[in-house]
Structures are given as structure tokens and as C-alpha cells.
């Protein structure tokens, strides 16, 4: 067995380049003859755009061309990849999403014009000479105001600001309402899931390049899924066939969802490069990122939980307003619906569930998937309402959950919201988290805090998520305009080394290290014999990229399937050389042997034979050893876990500090525990950020108030505690070859409710029974709630 196979905490090979400054991020690329674009962005949220005077700008030093919306004849809008069907069976309202504002400005930050110049400073200087003629319109920011009859319209050609009114499962609505009438207890909670900005540390960058000699275009971009960008931009926006378009996403400095989407700047740079016959580069500033990267979350929800006299959950219903922003970003409509409504059963047996979601257009930056995407919103409301119910009923919140868990012996379990969980053991993670967090010792710690004049509270939350997305035929029925398979080509070289070309993309996840561990295990060679190639459409098979905690579950499975084909073929070659039947060939520790004999061949002997086929079954078998597999999952995977947070509150200032945080996850099988733990720690920190610090805020006129790190509070080193993580509770996935579930989003999903439950617990214990505080729970809010 290789020493660094499946289950080993192999150190990351990619770290060497990152630690020595040799990473190659998109902004590190500079092409010969490159020009620079500066985008003039709207500084008002809503306006009729009467005209744009660009003449002065165009004649300024270094300016190559000034572009406005009228320069995009024959260019399509940015496509939306998911169509939702509403309660009445009608398709959602889908406005055009132009590259630049056409006739109307719809959010602060929308591109109004672009200046391409020899230098970035020249472009920026010239942009100041552009004169906009516009009439400002009243902005709609608040979602509930936006759906009023007389609200100003974000899109004049739509009938209202309502994108869709979705009911799930619509057929269950009446039964759910009846169950509420029959309930012994109903807990109601209204809450906000705060708007966030993903903020990967690398801002977005796009470089368009055009080769006249073969009429081909190349886009270098900070993307989580270069093939998706190629398909969307080529087929829907620019009309470039895929064989004339290459998209490269090299080292990418974090994504967290916001680098999934196809953005206007990518299309612009590719388009302008062809027009100008020069490479065109755009590097986002952080200030631009705040007003042009798709935002996340932003739900306003009313949730109700019905219980019977024995505290069994009998029904659940929710009403959610979900902000779409001014346009539909690539996967925006799917987030509050299929990634949210389907998770409302959580870890519980609630038999009847009804979810209503109204998606609303507002004069704000488009909102789309951010780490967890829909699942954090589902988990937050569910785990909050359960905690509130426990408080109202006077029962232990852990025990109320335990009582209502789907039991271990009930899997596979079909929920009333259309998904079937394959495996899980929720009591196991609960017990593990209770043990690791020393739940039993809380009283002592509480007393110790109290003695110092501090409040202390403990909160827990469970989560379930659906990841490893997704079965293509299923998502097709649900409105996806894409398949969600993944691909891998495994190329074995003559001397035995392997290159895996994967459609997955790593932007921090460590695929270059963990993927080879799998192949090493399967073949019995060392991982350093395996190299991973990703991020370039020119040398990877069509793949859907990395998001939704899908890389190992879907991309890894594709790689396993391709490797299985390799092994199968290699066995045939070995059988021929060893003059045995294929069925008798065993592969172990990189050696092919004939069962029951001492005849064997090394891995390298067989790979060499594949490319130097002198003694080879040429009539039956092609030479070479390279296989591709596309893996389409048969179900989602369902990671779950229990998170426990312990906080202290300074009653004088309202400041909350996280004293302890425990995460007990069930990710099924784990390839590289070190990487998995890092994913959870990072996710938890983002969840703590949402719970305590981060808030993307607009004023009533649509000005972005949290427009930089001066006002958008990112978690810093001193805001996050050491995080206890455990993944020893493992119920392997039953439908993918590795038994893996995915771990990328869990931390961000499970942590916000655990933090808020802990904060409210602390206040409750101090005789300040506050029912709810919306995130982020800032010191000012805690103080105000305690002194209300």
C-alpha cells in the first residue's frame, strides 16, 4: 500500500509554490501588447439612462476605445442557468442581463461604459471624462416593499418585481395547514438571513486574448468552472463556437461560490480583445468587488413549527422572500428553491412540510450562491425555530432534537421535500459533539464566567446538506439548464507516471494532493507518480467545476471510474504478457500477478507495453493507456453533523466572544483528514463571520454602505477561536464509489445557528429572555436587546 493513500493526511504539494511566491494567479499573467480596461460603474441605484457622451474620453491619451451598451450588437445577455416554475406552473420572470446598462441603470456598480487604454491609469483618467445623462428613479431595496403593487419596477418589461412565487411541495400545502390547526404547540419565528459578500481574498480578474491567425479567443479568468464559462459565454453571449474558445482558470485565490458565475467583465474582455486585436486585462479592485461580485444569502423568512403533545414535530411551514438583486445571476433562482426547500426536513422526521419562496428583484447587486447556497438559509431557520420551541416548551434543545431525529435504522429515508437521504447517524454526531464540547461541564464554566461578571451560553445546531450535485436528469426536471456530471481523463504514460485531467477545479481545496491519493490507493503506487491538471478547457475534458461540495463526490468518482477502466485494460495487457486469463490477474501494490502463481509484472512493465506494443494483443486491444469517464451521480450526498458553540458576552458592551466551538461531522469516508479539517475550520470561520460580523447593507436609496473592508467586517485572527473538529462518525455514501459525501460547505452551514443559539442561551440564563436577534449579532445589537 502507498503510505499516502486514502485516509492519509498527506501534506499539500501545491503549498510549495504558494509559500515561495510562485503561484500563478490570473493577475500574475501579462500578455504581450496587453491593454487595460476600466469600467465606469453606476453610482446611482436606479435611473433612466438617456445618453452617454464618450467623445472627450475617446480622445484622451492612450485610449484605444470607449465601449457602451450600443457597441454590443449581436451579443447576447448573460444567461441564467436555472429556470424555476412557479406555484401556478408558470416560468419565472427572466429579464435580460446585458453586459452593460441598456437604457436603464439598475444597481450601484452596474457597468455603464468601459474604457480600454494602453495603461490602467489612462483608462481611469479617461473614464472621468465620460458624461452620463440620466434621470434618477426611486430605488426599490426592501423586498416586501418591492412586491407591492405600486412599487417602482426594476424591469419595465416585467409585470412586477416578483421573479417567481414558488411553493414546495404545493400539493402538501393544505395538509400542512391542517396539521397546524391540530397542533398542540406552534412556534413561530421571523428572521433575516443577512446579505453577505463572499470575499475570496483574490479579487476577480479577466484577460481576453484573440489570435487572428486561427480566429480563436482565450479568456484567462478567476473561475471555479472554466468549462461552464466557456459554454455560457461562447454559446449564449458572444457566439463563439467552443472549439474557437479556450478558458483558463489558473491558480484561483478562493471562490466560495462567487467565482462560479459568468460575469459581464469576462465577456467584455474576450469581446474587446477580438475587436481591438489586443489582449485586454481587467483586475477588480476590492471596492469594485463589493459592487460587482454576486452577493449571497439575503432571505427574510417566517418559519413555523407544529408539535404534538409529546413534542414530536408534526409540520413545518415557511414563507421566505429571497433577494435576486437587479438581474438573475447564473444560478440565482436555484438557491432559494431547490437548494433550500429540499433541505427543510433537516435531520428530522417532520412528516409535513410546505415551503413558499418569493424571489424578488431589487436595485441591488445580483445575489447568487455563496458557500452553502440555500442550505445555510434552510439550516439557520430550522435550527433556530427548534431552539425557540425547546425554550417555549421548557425542554433541553439537544433532547428535543434527539427525539425527532430520523433514526439510524430508517435510512434510506424519503423526506416530504422530495429527497432521499441515503445514510446518516444523527445521534452519533450529537453524542460526539456533546462529548467533545464537554456539554456536561458547561455549568462549571458558566459559573466561572458569571463570577467574572460575564454571561455565558451554549448553543447547538444540527445540519444536513445535499451536495455532490447532482443527478443530471433530476436537476433537468427541476429547471437546470445544465448537466451536473463531472469528468476525468486518466493518462498513464509509458513509464508509469499518471496525469489526471479533471473537470473539477481547485481554488484552495487541495485537489493536487488529495486526488492522487485515491489513484495511488487504487493502483498501489505512490501519489507522487500522479499529477493533476485542471483549470484549462484546452487540456481537460468538459467538466462542470467545483462548487456545492462536489469535487471528490462527483469529480473524484469520475476519476475512479476512469482509473477502473485503466486497471481493467492494464490487466488485459498483463494477462497477455503473462499468458493468463484477465480474470486471473490481480493488481496489488503496483504489481500485476496471476492468481495462485508467482508470475507477476510491475506497473511500469505494463504501461510500457501499452505504448511499445511489441508483445501485445493488438487485434483485441488498442495500444495506449488513457481513459476518460463522465460520472453522473445517482443521488445527492447528505453530509450532516452537530455543531456546538459556547460564547461569553460582556454585558457592559454587548460584545460576544466565541470561547469554544466543536464540530462533529459525518462526511462518510475521508480521503485526506488534514484537508477535510481545514475545510471545516474555514467554513466555521465564515459562519462565525455571518453570525457576528458580516453584513452587506444598502441604504434606502440603494447606496452600498458596507462597500469596503472599512465597513464590511471580515473575521480576523482574533475573532475566531481554535475549532475542535471531528469526522469519526462516518456513514459512507452508498451510491458513489468512494463512499464520500463532501465537506466544503458544512462549516458555513452548521455554525451560524449554533452561534446565535448560544448567544440567546447566554442572555436567557442571565434573565434576559430575548427571543431572537438578527445576524450579525453585533455588540450594539446585543446591548440594545439586553437593555430594551
Residues 331-370 that bind other proteins (CB under 8 A): none
> Considering the rule CB under 8 A, would residue 121 count as an interface residue with other proteins?
yes
Stretch that binds other proteins, among 6-14, 170-178, 415-423, 611-619 (CB under 8 A): 6-14
Closest CB to other proteins among 619 and 787?
787
> Considering the rule CB under 8 A, would residue 713 count as an interface residue with other proteins?
yes
Q: Rounded CA gap, 753 and 758, in Å?
A: 8
Q: Rounded CA gap, 393 and 96, in Å?
A: 50
Distances (CA, A) of 460 to 46, 346, 644, 682: 42, 14, 4, 19
> Considering the rule CB under 8 A, would residue 15 count as an interface residue with other proteins?
yes
Residue indicated by cell numbers 507495453: 609
> Considering the rule CB under 8 A, would residue 414 count as an interface residue with other proteins?
no
Contact residue for other proteins among 55, 285, 450, 634 (CB under 8 A)? 285
> Considering the rule CB under 8 A, would residue 677 count as an interface residue with other proteins?
yes
> Site residues for other proteins, window 623-652 (CB under 8 A)?
652
> Considering the rule CB under 8 A, would residue 252 count as an interface residue with other proteins?
yes
> Considering the rule CB under 8 A, would residue 4 count as an interface residue with other proteins?
no
Closest CB to other proteins among 528 and 652?
652
DSSP 142: S
One character per residue 547-566, x = contact with other proteins (rule: CB under 8 A): --------------------
User: Under the phi-then-psi rule, with left for phi > 0, alpha for psi from -120 to 50, and beta for the rest, what region is 205?
Assistant: beta
Q: How far is the CB of 501 from other proteins (least distance, A)?
A: 21
Do the Cβ atoms of 438 and 659 come closer than 8 Å?
no
The residue count for binding other proteins (CB under 8 A) is 81
Contact residue for other proteins among 81, 747, 750, 752 (CB under 8 A)? 747
Q: Rounded CA gap, 744 and 746, in Å?
A: 6
Q: Rounded CA gap, 145 and 318, in Å?
A: 19
How many C-beta atoms surround the C-beta of residue 177 within 10 A? 14
Give the HSE-up count for residue 137: Cα atoms under 13 Å, Cβ half-sphere: 23
> Considering the rule CB under 8 A, would residue 439 count as an interface residue with other proteins?
no
Closest CB to other proteins among 62 and 476?
62
> Considering the rule CB under 8 A, would residue 61 count as an interface residue with other proteins?
no
> Site residues for other proteins, window 124-143 (CB under 8 A)?
124-125, 128
> Considering the rule CB under 8 A, would residue 122 count as an interface residue with other proteins?
no
* Alpha helix positions (H), 524-595: 556-578
> Considering the rule CB under 8 A, would residue 619 count as an interface residue with other proteins?
no
> Considering the rule CB under 8 A, would residue 586 count as an interface residue with other proteins?
no
DSSP state string for 414-447: E-TTS-EE----HHHHHHHHHHHTTGGGHHHHHH
Q: Rounded CA gap, 438 and 483, in Å?
A: 45
Contact residue for other proteins among 211, 674, 766, 771 (CB under 8 A)? 674
Q: How far is the CB of 512 from other proteins (least distance, A)?
A: 11
Instruction: Report how far Cα 732 is from the mean position of its chain's Cα atoms.
Output: 22
> Site residues for other proteins, window 489-528 (CB under 8 A)?
507-510
Contact residue for other proteins among 12, 38, 349, 358 (CB under 8 A)? 12
> Considering the rule CB under 8 A, would residue 376 count as an interface residue with other proteins?
no
Closest CB to other proteins among 200 and 503?
200
Stretch that binds other proteins, among 144-152, 308-316, 580-588, 708-716 (CB under 8 A): 708-716
Closest CB to other proteins among 309 and 717?
717
> Considering the rule CB under 8 A, would residue 21 count as an interface residue with other proteins?
yes
Closest alpha carbon to 706 in 316, 101, 115, 199: 199
List the beta bridge partners of residue 420: 414
Closest CB to other proteins among 303 and 723?
723
Q: Beta strand 455-464 with 63-68: parallel, antiparallel or unpaired?
A: unpaired
Q: How far is the CB of 693 from other proteins (least distance, A)?
A: 5
Closest alpha carbon to 695 in 681, 682, 714: 714
Q: Rounded CA gap, 123 and 280, in Å?
A: 12
Reduce the DSSP state of residue 169 to 3 states and report it: coil
List the beta bridge partners of residue 34: none
Amino acid at each position: 500500500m502507498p503510505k499516502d493513500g486514502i485516509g492519509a493526511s498527506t501534506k499539500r504539494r501545491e503549498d510549495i509554490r504558494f509559500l515561495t511566491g510562485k503561484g500563478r494567479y490570473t493577475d500574475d499573467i501579462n500578455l504581450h501588447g496587453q491593454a487595460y480596461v476600466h469600467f465606469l460603474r453606476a453610482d446611482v441605484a436606479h435611473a433612466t439612462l438617456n445618453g452617454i457622451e464618450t467623445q472627450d474620453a475617446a480622445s484622451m491619451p492612450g485610449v484605444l476605445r470607449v465601449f457602451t451598451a450600443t457597441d454590443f450588437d449581436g451579443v447576447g445577455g448573460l444567461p441564467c442557468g436555472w429556470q424555476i416554475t412557479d406555484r401556478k406552473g408558470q416560468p419565472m420572470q427572466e429579464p435580460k442581463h446585458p453586459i452593460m446598462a441598456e437604457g436603464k441603470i439598475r444597481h450601484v456598480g452596474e457597468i455603464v461604459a468601459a474604457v480600454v487604454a494602453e495603461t490602467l491609469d489612462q483608462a481611469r483618467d479617461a473614464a472621468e471624462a465620460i458624461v452620463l445623462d440620466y434621470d434618477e428613479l426611486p430605488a426599490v431595496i426592501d423586498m416586501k416593499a418591492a412586491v407591492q403593487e405600486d412599487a417602482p419596477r426594476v424591469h419595465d418589461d416585467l409585470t412586477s418585481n416578483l421573479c417567481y412565487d414558488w411553493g414546495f411541495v404545493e400539493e402538501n400545502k393544505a395538509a400542512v395547514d391542517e396539521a397546524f390547526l391540530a397542533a398542540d404547540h406552534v412556534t413561530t419565528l421571523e428572521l433575516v438571513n443577512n446579505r453577505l459578500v463572499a470575499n475570496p481574498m483574490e479579487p476577480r480578474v479577466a484577460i481576453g486574448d484573440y489570435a487572428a491567425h486561427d480566429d480563436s479567443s482565450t479568456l484567462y479568468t478567476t473561475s471555479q468552472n472554466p468549462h461552464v464559462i466557456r459554454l455560457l459565454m461562447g454559446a449564449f453571449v458572444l457566439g463563439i463556437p467552443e472549439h474557437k474558445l479556450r478558458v483558463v482558470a489558473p491558480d484561483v485565490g478562493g471562490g466560495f461560490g462567487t467565482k462560479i458565475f459568468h460575469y459581464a467583465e469576462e465577456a467584455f474582455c474576450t469581446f474587446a480583445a477580438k475587436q481591438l486585436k489586443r489582449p485586454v486585462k481587467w483586475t477588480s479592485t476590492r471596492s469594485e468587488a463589493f459592487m460587482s461580485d454576486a452577493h449571497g444569502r439575503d432571505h427574510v423568512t417566517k418559519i413555523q413549527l407544529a408539535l404534538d403533545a409529546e413534542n414530536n414535530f408534526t409540520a413545518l411551514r415557511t414563507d421566505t422572500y429571497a433577494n435576486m438583486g437587479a438581474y438573475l445571476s447564473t444560478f440565482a433562482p436555484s438557491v432559494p428553491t431547490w437548494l433550500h426547500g429540499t433541505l427543510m426536513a433537516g435531520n428530522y422526521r417532520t412528516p409535513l412540510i410546505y415551503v413558499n419562496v418569493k424571489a424578488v428583484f431589487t436595485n441591488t447587486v445580483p445575489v447568487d450562491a455563496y458557500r452553502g447556497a440555500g442550505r445555510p438559509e434552510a439550516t439557520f431557520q430550522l435550527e433556530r425555530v427548534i431552539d425557540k420551541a425547546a425554550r417555549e416548551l421548557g425542554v433541553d434543545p439537544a433532547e428535543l432534537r434527539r427525539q425527532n431525529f430520523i433514526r439510524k435504522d430508517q435510512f434510506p429515508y424519503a423526506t416530504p421535500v422530495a429527497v432521499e437521504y441515503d445514510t446518516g447517524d444523527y445521534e452519533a454526531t450529537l453524542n460526539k459533539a456533546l462529548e467533545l464540547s464537554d456539554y456536561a461541564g458547561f455549568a462549571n464554566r458558566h459559573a466561572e464566567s458569571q463570577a467574572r461578571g460575564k454571561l455565558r451560553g451554549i448553543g447547538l445546531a444540527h445540519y444536513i446538506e445535499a451536495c455532490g450535485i447532482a443527478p443530471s436528469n433530476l436537476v433537468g426536471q427541476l429547471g437546470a439548464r445544465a448537466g451536473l456530471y463531472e469528468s476525468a481523463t486518466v493518462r498513464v504514460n509509458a513509464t508509469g507516471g499518471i496525469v489526471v485531467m479533471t473537470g473539477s477545479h481547485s481554488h484552495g481545496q487541495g485537489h493536487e494532493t488529495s486526488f492522487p491519493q485515491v489513484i495511488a490507493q487504487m493502483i498501489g503506487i505512490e501519489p507522487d507518480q500522479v499529477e493533476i491538471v485542471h483549470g484549462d478547457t484546452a487540456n481537460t475534458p468538459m467538466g462542470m467545476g467545483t462548487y456545492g461540495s462536489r469535487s471528490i463526490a462527483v469529480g473524484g468518482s469520475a476519476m475512479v471510474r476512469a482509473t477502473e477502466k485503466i486497471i481493467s485494460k492494464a490487466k488485459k495487457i498483463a494477462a497477455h504478457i503473462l499468458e493468463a486469463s484477465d480474470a486471473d490477474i490481480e493488481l496489488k501494490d503496483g504489481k500485476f500477478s496471476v492468481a495462485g502463481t508467482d508470475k507477476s509484472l510491475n506497473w511500469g512493465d505494463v504501461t510500457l507495453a501499452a505504448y511499445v506494443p511489441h508483445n501485445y494483443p493488438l487485434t483485441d486491444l488498442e495500444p495506449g493507456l488513457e481513459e476518460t469517464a463522465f460520472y453522473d451521480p445517482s443521488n445527492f450526498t447528505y453530509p450532516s453533523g452537530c455543531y456546538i458553540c459556547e460564547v461569553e458576552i460582556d454585558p457592559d458592551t454587548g460584545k460576544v466572544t466565541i470561547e469554544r466551538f466543536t464540530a462533529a461531522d459525518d462526511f462518510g469516508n475521508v480521503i485526506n483528514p488534514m484537508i477535510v479539517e481545514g475545510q471545516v475550520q474555514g467554513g466555521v470561520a465564515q459562519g462565525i463571520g455571518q453570525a457576528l460580523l458580516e453584513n452587506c447593507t444598502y441604504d434606502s436609496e440603494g447606496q452600498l454602505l458596507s462597500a469596503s473592508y472599512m465597513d464590511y467586517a471580515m473575521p480576523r485572527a482574533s475573532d475566531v477561536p481554535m475549532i475542535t473538529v471531528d469526522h469519526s462518525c462516518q456513514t459512507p455514501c452508498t451510491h458513489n464509489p468512494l463512499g464520500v459525501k463532501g465537506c466544503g460547505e458544512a462549516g458555513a452551514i452548521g455554525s451560524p445557528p449554533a452561534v446565535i443559539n448560544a448567544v440567546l442561551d447566554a442572555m436567557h440564563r442571565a434573565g434576559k429572555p430575548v427571543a431572537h436577534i438578527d445576524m450579525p449579532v453585533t455588540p450594539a445589537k446585543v446591548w440594545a436587546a439586553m437593555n430594551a
